[in-house]
Structures are given as C-alpha cells and as structure tokens.
Amino acid sequence: ISICRDLPNIEVITFSVNGISDLEPLSQCQNLSELYLRKNNIANLHELFYLKNLPRLRVLWLSENPCCGSDPHRYRMTVLRNLPSLQKLDNQAVTEEELSQALLDGEEITVPPAGRNVEDSCPESTESSAAESTTETESELLNFSLEETNKIQEELDMKPVPRDKFSSFSPRETDCNRKKRNNVLNAILLLMKELDAEGLEIVQQSVGRRLQTLQKMELQEE
C-alpha cells in the first residue's frame, strides 16, 4: 500500500483481502473516489483520520475488518460522521437521515491511531497468526489475484490465464511472502492506470518476453 504515496492522481483503489492495517499512505491520494478495503486487518476506526481530507471520496467498502466491532450501528455512524461525503458505505447507499443521525451517534475522530505495526515489516510467524491464515482466506486471495491478473491480460490484448495454470499459494509459504506477492500485483495494477498508450505497449512487449521465457522453462522441466 506504500506505493499509493507516489500515486496522488489515482481514483479507484482495490485492496480487499490484503492484510492491510495502516491507511496513512492513502492520505496523499487527493483524487481518490472509490476505496475497497474489505477483509483486511484494520483494527482501529481511528485509521479514518487519514481519509478525512480526501475531498472526492464517495465510495468506501470497509466491512469485515476488526475495526467494525460488534455494534454495526455505532461503526456505520462513526464512519459517516467522519466521512460525510460518502455516497455508499459497504455497498449500501448513504441516506440524509443517516448523516444526521451520525452527528449524534458517531464518534468524531480528530487524531490518528496511537501506535501500530509497521506495514512493510514481516514479523516472525506465531501460532495465532497461523491459525488466522485459514483455507478460506487463501482461496479468496487466489481468486482475487487470478481475477486481477486476467484484467491485465485483457488490457494487454492477451489470453486470460486458466485457473489450472495460475500459480497458487503453497501451504509452505509464509504470510509475509503471500502478502508481498499480492501487494506487487496490486502495485502493477495501480501503475498500469497511470500509463499512456506508448507505456502500455512497452509493458506488453515485456510481458510477452517474460511469458515466453517462463513457457520455455516449463517445457524444459517437463
């Protein structure tokens, strides 16, 4: 997610199922209008502090994060009190009545969260973190990455990658390596949107050469 510091003109960001806990890099994205963060590790609603000064943010999907807590009403009211320009929250339209009620029931956030884990660090695996890395989550990461990969293929006028040819996550991979791989893919997608036709042609040529190399390696292994 740190790549976002260098993309101030990005308008749509999709980081669902990505292990994200820190929203500070998004504070530089002044043109951001849609932000999808479903199923991450955002633990504190005070992370909203970094989104409060994004004037064009209209769509936010934050559900299924720890910060949502056990009180859906309080969670929604707090988000809307701090981001009153939202038109849709968690795939549900925001009403004028909710915005008025949020002034009464929502918590106003005026300071960033106190203390956090460094987003780019790779702490040693623990039993608890291993337990949280369920088969369901791994499957969602694979589906998400395959979908986004095929979006790149389509933009480059290339054939989609079949599921059985897509590199899946090995159970032996650490959570850190899995997160890095997914973050690299997301960074590529974000940067693709910043390229013009000439830049995309260069990417297409590079991808074609890389695919040819990988195909030759697969044939040699067989």
pLDDT digits 0-9 by tens, 9-36: 889 999 888 889 999 999 989 999 999 9
pTM exceeding 0.75: no
List the structure tokens of 35: 């932000």
pLDDT band at 154 (very low <50, low <70, confident <90, very high): low
**How far are the Cα atoms of 27, 89, 122, 154, 218 from residue 37, in angstroms, in the given order?**
15, 11, 21, 24, 36
59-95 burial by CB neighbour count: b if 16+ within 10 A, else e?
bbbbbebebbeeeeeebbbbbbbbbeebeebbeeebe
Q: Which fold has domain 2-105?
A: 3.80.10
Question: Residue 39 above 70 pLDDT?
Answer: yes
Q: Write the pLDDT tens digit of every residue in 167-184.
A: 444 444 455 555 556 666
Task: Please report, for the chain, the start and end positions of each structural domain, with discontinuous segments joined by +.
Answer: 2-105
106-141 tens-digit pLDDT: 999 999 987 544 444 444 443 444 444 444 444 555
